Amino acid sequence: MKTYSVALIPGDGIGPEILREGKKVMDAVAEVAGITWRWKEYPFGAEHWLKHRKGLPTLMSEEDMAQLGTHDAIYFGSVGDPRVPEHVGQAGGLLWMRFYFDQYINLRPAKLLRGIESPLRGKRPHEIDMYMVRENSEDFYIGLGGHFAGTKSSENLELLRSLYQARFKVEVTLEPGGELAYQIGALTGRNSERVIRYGFELARRKKLTRVTVVHKANVLTNIYGLWIEKAEMVAKDYPDIELEFAIADAMSMWLVRRPQWFQVIVAPNMFGDILSDLAASTVGGLGFAPGGNINPDRTAGVSMFEPIHGSAPKYGGLNKANPIGTILAGKLMIEHLGRNVRLNSWSRPPRTFWAPGKSVPMTWVARRRAATWATRSPSACSNSSSSQGIMPKFSANLTMLFTDADFMDRFERASQSGFKGVEYLFPYGWKKEQVAEKLEKT
């Protein structure tokens, strides 16, 4: 039985509760997949920073990062707390982790699940099904820039990566009383090539036929001109896969008008950040969107998996947050670790049973395998909705398998109210043999 060492970082706000639910699912999957998790939880977040690192620019120390690097993967909740400067959790936490472990791929799938209503009218389950491959370590997110008020300024800036080192000397001369702020964006040919190649390899692995490369070379000619050159070069190695280009602003329009067209999208860091949130909104919201910060070479750096939403501090501890994004991030983690868990539960993700005035979580039981998928805690979801990933109501007719104790009563009341669509119910406490026998008969 293969054992994987995974670092758990619950973080801030809703992070601890969504990661707790994700861990439950990963433990259940491990039983079926024949693997073992060796979990180790780390306290990195607002409380730890306020107690041990207040005033320092990073959420973790160099020693902490080295310790994280000893694991096979990192399973992350969320970061962000109003008591901590935002740059500490972002630039000094998430971005530093991406740079430190050379997590140059940010993979953000967006798929419309059964039972989820897209805000785009008439979209059917699985009609929207795309992979956003976001470049994750360069572009305008390298953290180099300045804010200057005066007459003269001279700065030497360094960009240090595992692939290269670059230095910039910036001299500014202003009229008295002037003020100037600047941010440097940079792409390298080698990194651009490997990111775009990852997108094509992903398309081939998933048996897809089109890769869309996003850019803004019509205005930012130098930085994204290089990006286009590398895309055209890489595409020659994949004659079976179509390459198309999309200007970033037009891409935002097409994601709304025709999201079903897109299969694999490869985007520079900043545009990928924006467009992946838009893609998530087409499939129900950020609460359904997983993310993987990936170094494809597991020997060169550990990868980190998380939902793409924030910490939503005002909802922290209320057990209302939607954990689906976190659960699906766990799926990305298992795939990255090379495990091909062939269960129907992967292709039929967790959903929520809706009855008038009620929204309660459920667990999906895989046909003929009786593998528990999601959580059993009735407090894990609620009817409220939020851009930070709070679970919305569901009204679609669903065919599901249940394992919660009071579902019989809820089902009877729902049926009397005219709700149809639930075909199988399994009272909580049934043994696997009973569930398997019932499944065989159906």
pLDDT tens, position by position, 356-393: 333 333 333 332 223 333 333 333 333 333 333 333 33
Domain for residue 175, yes or no? yes
Unique residue bearing structure tokens 């609460």: 287
Which residues are CB-contacts of 241 (< 8 A; sequence separation ≥ 6)?
200, 203, 204, 208, 209, 210, 211, 235
Binned average pLDDT, 10 residues per bin, the chain of 442 residues? 96 97 93 92 98 97 97 97 95 95 98 92 94 98 93 93 93 93 97 98 97 98 98 98 98 97 98 98 96 97 97 93 95 88 45 35 31 32 35 32 37 42 39 55 52
Give residues with Cβ within 8 angstroms of 271, minimum separation 6.
214, 215, 216, 248, 251
Residue 150 is assigned to a structural domain of this protein: yes
149 in a domain, yes or no? yes
Number of domains in the chain: 1
CA distances from 248 to 156, 265, 268 (A): 31, 11, 10
Shortest CA distance to 259 belongs to which of 122, 92, 58?
122
Give CA–CA dist 113/124, Å, rounded.
9
Q: Within a domain: residue 161?
A: yes
**Whether 326 contacts 311, CB under 8 Å:** no
Q: Which residues of 310-335 are buried (b: 16+ CB within 10 A; e: fewer)?
A: bbbbebbeebbbbbbbbbbbbbbbbb
Q: What is the C-alpha separation between 309 and 287, in angstroms, rounded?
A: 7
pTM metric for this prediction: 0.80
Q: What is the largest CA-CA distance in the chain?
A: 84
Residue 286's closest CA among 337, 238, 324, 253? 324
pLDDT tens per residue, range 84-120: 999 999 999 999 999 999 999 999 999 999 889 999 9
In a domain, 171, yes or no: yes
Residue 90 structure tokens: 């972002």
Is 231 contained in some domain?
no
**Which structural domain range is residue 179 located in?**
145-183
In a domain, residue 158? The reply is yes
Domain membership of residue 316 (yes or no) is no
